[in-house]
Amino acid sequence: MHSKEQISHDEYQKTADWLMSQTTHRPQVAIICGSGLGMLADTLKCQEAFDYSDIPGFPQSTVQGHAGRLVFGELKGKTCVCMQGRFHMYEGHSLSKTTFPVRVFKLMGVETLIVTNAAGSLADGFHPGDIMIIKDHVNFPGLVGMHPLCGPNDDKFGPRFPAMSGCYDKDLRCLAMEIAKEQGVASVMREGVYAMVGGPNFETIAEARLLHRLGVDAVGMSTAPEVVVATHCGLRVFGLSLITNKVVKCYEDTESVNHDGVLEVGRLRSHTVQQLVTELIGRIEVNNNTK
């Protein structure tokens, strides 16, 4: 894997220009769908969709539950672009490729990024089916230099040393919690810290215990690089983790997690997640996209 592959500004621009030549939609909000959460795109009206394989420069999705389609459309008066399928480091993509669409969205005029993922819970009191608003993250690969911003900095996107202290927008987190209360789903809502690990294996019990002791509430294999790149280029970010399983922390526990189970919880909670994200997008303040 080339974790430090460099992608030039021109390459991002070419993809953005190609997409803008193929659709008249000018998105204000981008959504990245996590495992089993691709149905978020189904809510978009006046859809135009592109297979990743047809988009110049786009990587390909290889994971079950990640369709590999970029869907444009309207939702509650906002123009959106939705990734039905994301790219993970463990698929062998470089981190630049993993986060490639985020910079393309920026160049297309997107202002707000909504990231979703499936995650296992470590926090006591979190259960499968709960929806965690991401308050902050621990980017484990990033801490050891497997980081999408490694290499020469592209000043056109952002500064060499970006701050990450407020990377999950506080107002959007409050708004989402308010909406959840109005929709009568407050009892399944949580807020917490997401940690990204490299995957693709699920955690050992010792790893689970370590993460728990470190104060991690939910663990997954994505999202942090996308959020880092989005924050670097000035996008406002909101993140949700759907808790699909409890991470096994006891040697006596006979339960074990698998990807089909992860996807199944996505299906079961699809309606709730859709309702929440739809209403949030409806209430997000955006400017006109003049690209």
Interface residues with ligand HPA (CB under 6 A) are 118-120, 202-203, 219-221, 244-245, 247, 257, 262
CB 184, min distance to ligand HPA, A? 26
Cα 233 to chain centroid distance, Å, stands at: 16
| 15: CB partners within 8 A, 6+ apart | 55, 56, 57, 58, 100, 104
From the list ligand LQZ7MJT6, ligand HPA, none, pick the one residue 120 interacts with, judged by a Cβ distance below 5 to 8 Å according to partner type. Answer: ligand HPA
| CA-atom Rg of the chain in angstroms | 18
CA angle 85, 1, 91 (to 5 degrees): 25
User: Which residue in the set 70, 71, 82, 118 belongs to the binding site for ligand LQZ7MJT6 (CB under 6 A)?
Assistant: 118
From the list ligand HPA, ligand LQZ7MJT6, none, pick the one residue 203 interacts with, judged by a Cβ distance below 5 to 8 Å according to partner type. Answer: ligand HPA
Mark 74-113 with x for binding to ligand LQZ7MJT6 (rule: CB under 6 A) and - for no binding.
Answer: ------------x-x-------------------------
CB 201, min distance to ligand LQZ7MJT6, A? 10
For ligand HPA, which residue has the nearest CB?
120
CB 6, min distance to ligand HPA, A? 28
Q: Does 222 interact with ligand LQZ7MJT6 (rule: CB under 6 A)? A: yes
Q: Coil, helix or strand for 14? A: helix
CA–CA dist 200, 127 (Å, integer): 22
SS (H, E, C) 176-234: HHHHHHHCCCHHHEEEEEEEECCCCCCCCHHHHHHHHHCCCCEEECCCHHHHHHHHHCC
User: Which residue in the set 7, 25, 29, 34 belongs to the binding site for ligand LQZ7MJT6 (CB under 6 A)?
Assistant: 34
Is the Cβ–Cβ distance between 134 and 192 less than 8 Å? Answer: yes
CA–CA dist 268, 84 (Å, integer): 18
Q: Name the residue nearer to ligand HPA (CB basis): 18 or 140.
A: 140
